[in-house]
A and B are shown apart, each in its own frame.
Chain A
Amino acid sequence: MSWGMLFLQTITNGLLIGAVYALIALGLNVIYGVMDFINFAHGEFIMLSMYATYFMFVLLGWDPLLSLPISMLMLFGLGAISEIFLVKPILGERMVIQVFTTYGLLLFLRNIATFFWSSTWRTLPTSYSDVVLSLGEIRISLGYALSSLVALIFTIGLYMFFKKTDTGIAIRATSQDRETAKLMGVDVNKIYMLTFGLGSACAGVAGVLLTLVYPIQPEVGEIFCVLSFVICVVGGMGNFMGAILGGFLIGLTESLAGFLVAPAYKHIIVFIVFIITLLIRPKGLMGK
């Protein structure tokens, strides 16, 4: 394989993983953008969705892509319930209280998962997750390609929802000015519940797609949590497009840094990019 081809393969890898990264971070940013609220248990929501997908596959034989709407709805429900019982009482409180509450939720969910499903690693053996497509010399895993594609469709769908529907407009209005939206007759409480549900549904979709490429375990949320914060901050906290841009940027930076410098230095370079971004644009690339 020539250097040029290796380089092209690296770019492809970066873009494919970037799409998955973007989806992981999206939910976090949707919630923060509207509610000014950070859900530290975001990674655990993804983990729960992974388990839901896994068990629907193993027990009922449902393919992850078919059971996706169910996992998404389950996570929407979980998000909405969490909003009512955990988030609403502390909304508008100091940041530290939000951190403690959702971190508590994180520990609770992680330990519940360990209790019920043990710390065993599980993998979801779909017929297509190990299939590799060849474009000339470039190789693309069907699992990654499918998850990027679904991520893209879902993101566009969510974007259209925010732009075109009345509810979407109400959500955006609330995110811009909570008081004015209230005066215009928007039921802010309902909007918050919906937003938290939607953010969690994003985690749900991310979880389903991750089962195609990643093993499942109760501690797996930890990996997603740090990553989604980095992506959101680089892209712009609370900005819809920011999460997507940040996802691709981090994915590509990792791949290129690993290829051009050395894999051992890829995280150093990612964080150099992270720091430079913050120096130039303290609110992230898309932040206002």
Chain B
Amino acid sequence: MEKLSSKEAITKIQAVVVSVIIAIAVIVAAYFAAFPPSQKPLVTEVKIGGIYPLTGAYAVLGRNDRYAIELAVDEINEAGGVKSLDGALLHIIFADSEGDPKRAADEAERLITVDGVCAIMGSILSGTTSTSAPVAERYKVPYVNEGSTSITLTEHGWEYFFRVTPHDGLYCKFTFDFLKWLAKDKGVPVKTVALLYENTLFGKTAGDVWKDLLTQPEYSEWELVADIPYDSKSLQYDTEVMELKKAQPDVVFMATYTEDSIMLQKTFHRLDFECKAFIGIDGGHITQYFVEGTGKLGDYVFAEARWSPDLKRSISQEANARFNERYGFNLDGHSARAYTAAYVLYWAIEKAGSTNPEDIKNALVNLEIAADEIIMPWDGVKFDSKGQNILGKGCIVQIINGEFRSVYPRETATFDPVFPQPSWEER
């Protein structure tokens, strides 16, 4: 009897619970039937992943990019967050790639599956981007890349990959366009050019692109008189410079790392190699080490630097001032692009009005940003079918008294370039 009565009691309680649940369900259903949801579910936070080398050999680059992105995110949140999502705040979750391609892929997977991010930013190095972007592609999550410049990244047919920065090919072409303008503007003819580049992926790519461009009618006025790949782990560069002395080019295009850029510049001076200009691309020439290591000998070198803190564009000046106030140093070619990429992603989310990765991807595909909205000296941001921003540009600086002064593109430049450079004796 006891057992039976307790069974009956449970059945009663169950019946009450079930009917309450049914009642609630009916009320909720009725509510939604009466007032169908005109708005999407309320979002208070938009989670974005950031894969950067925060430790290891590239930690300084990673840290600076992180600083720039955090600044951009804070600015966006303080200005009211994502307005199309009722002021939802951006929340960026950083993951450490350690500069390791394998690790970067693992972190991309973790950000998507565990943290549930709706977009990923990353990852400076072409090596880590080439492994983490396919993971995002697999999960159909948009990947906004700020500064990996290897040409091949946009050649894989990835649909969710968006590269904000110009790639190496575009940067190389930009240095050529700069020289064309420079020769014309100064009325100094340039007939012969030499290429001097380190012989691993970075330098070799630049060398190949330059050589390819020289075969095109646009640049056929220049004759290639010396094509010199070199090993950047050499103790001396006398032979390379002697080769240049034999060839007597008007202008030398260079793709260098750090120590070789310093050694080469000193060797140019020591062996008295004269030409009208040295034009470097990224690499060693845009580092402070080059300026410190070469002292006065490094003056008048041109370099494609991606960005320069003296750009004549008020939005750039203001962003740099805020960055400098917060962290105590200037934005550079990498961090300025990271800052820009963070805004690009924000604009896409704003436009999508959704945290659905597919919607954000579609917004990125159709995104058009005007030049005056970004801090880079570009014509704006607009992605082609491969996900490459086609409005990007370079930024040429010249070293004058140990300082980088922007000289090209002219719209944002603050300094009139010196060309041809004075001879070693005149300096």
Contact = CB atoms under 8 A, between A and B. Distances in A.
B233 interface: yes
Interface stretch (B153-161, B239-247, B344-352): B239-247
Contacts of A17: 235-236, 238
Nearest to A141: B270
A95 interface: no
B271 interface: yes
A257 B297 CA distance: 28
Contacts of B243: 258-259, 262-263
Contact of B242 (A6, A213, A214): A6
Query: Most B CB atoms within 10 A — which of A144, A220, A264?
Result: A264
A130 B297 contact: yes
Contact of A139 (B199, B240, B271, B293): B271
Nearest to B272: A139
A254 B228 CA distance: 15
A149 interface: no
Given A119-B57, A132-B269, A258 B240 contact: yes
Nearest to B227: A264
Contacts of A144: 270
Interface stretch (B129-137, B258-266, B335-343): B258-266
A29 to B, nearest CB: 18
B292 interface: yes
Contact of A215 (B233, B238, B259): B259
B114 to A, nearest CB: 32
A123 B293 contact: yes
B202 interface: no
B270 A132 contact: yes
Interface residues of A, number: 38
Contacts of A267: 231
Interface residues of B, number: 33
A213 B238 CA distance: 12
A contacts with B: majority SS:
helix
Given A132-B269, A264-B230, A258 B57 contact: no
Interface in B278-303: 287, 289, 292-295, 297
Interface in A117-156: 119-121, 123, 125, 130, 132, 139, 141, 144
B198 to A, nearest CB: 12
Contacts of A259: 239, 242-243
A130 B295 CA distance: 10
Contacts of A262: 228, 243
A255 interface: yes
Contacts of A139: 270-272
Most B C-beta atoms less than 10 A away, residue of A130, A224, A258: A258
A213 B231 CA distance: 18
B292 A1 contact: no
Contacts of A1: 245
A28 B81 CA distance: 64
Nearest to A222: B233
B295 A125 contact: yes
Secondary structure call for the B interface: helix
Contacts of A224: 235
Interface in B243-260: 243, 245-246, 258-259
Nearest to A220: B259
B245 A6 contact: yes
Given A121-B293, A215-B293, A227 B235 contact: yes
Interface in A91-127: 119-121, 123, 125
A258 B226 CA distance: 13
A139 B238 CA distance: 12
B242 to A, nearest CB: 5
A263 B230 contact: yes
Contacts of B289: 120-121, 123, 215
B216 interface: no
A264 B258 CA distance: 20
A222 B271 CA distance: 26
A227 B236 CA distance: 12
A220 B272 CA distance: 27
Contact of A258 (B242, B262, B270, B271): B242
B242 A121 contact: no
Given A121-B259, A139-B270, A9 B242 contact: yes
Nearest to A224: B235
Contacts of A123: 262, 289, 292-294
A227 B235 CA distance: 9
Nearest to B290: A121
20 contacts: A6-B245, A9-B242, A10-B239, A17-B236, A121-B289, A123-B262, A123-B289, A123-B292, A214-B263, A215-B289, A215-B293, A220-B259, A223-B235, A255-B242, A258-B240, A258-B242, A263-B230, A263-B243, A264-B229, A264-B230
Given A6-B242, A10-B238, A263-B240, 8 more contacts: A121-B287, A130-B269, A215-B263, A215-B293, A220-B259, A224-B235, A254-B236, A262-B243
Interface of B: 57, 199, 228-231, 233-236, 238-240, 242-243, 245-246, 258-259, 262-263, 266, 269-272, 287, 289, 292-295, 297
